[in-house]
Amino acid sequence: MRQQIECPMCQKAESDFSRINEGINLSPTLAEKASYARELIQKVETLLKEHETLQDGFAEACRAVLNLRKNAAEMVLKLEKAKRQSKE
């Protein structure tokens, strides 16, 4: 069962997140995954800015989930960078 946070901003972005995550998961190379990871980070940072002034429980939960998404995307970029550096 899929859990959702009842936040209009995050719900509106969910289709983008699904598309980007699918791109990461289905991409055969780290370089392709990294492209989607960069897109994911941009989307997350935009939403984090929209949540800056909100101080309710939902906003706090959203920020936590958004930061987890960002951390996962950053891991993809770190792996891609390490792979590039190992070829040099």
Question: Who has greater pLDDT, 37 or 57?
Answer: 37
Question: Who has greater pLDDT, 38 or 6?
Answer: 38
Contacts of 15 (CB under 8 A, 6+ apart): none
Q: Identity (one letter) of the amino acid at 30?
A: L
Residue 53 contacts residue 34 (beta carbons within 8 Å): no
Q: How far is CA 48 from CA 20, 43, 64, 72, in A?
A: 17, 9, 10, 15
- What's the pLDDT tens digit per position in 6-33? 788 888 999 999 999 999 999 999 999 9
Q: Above 60 in pLDDT, residue 2?
A: no
Using CA atoms, how far apart are residues 17 and 38, in angstroms rounded to an integer?
Answer: 12
pTM of the model: 0.89
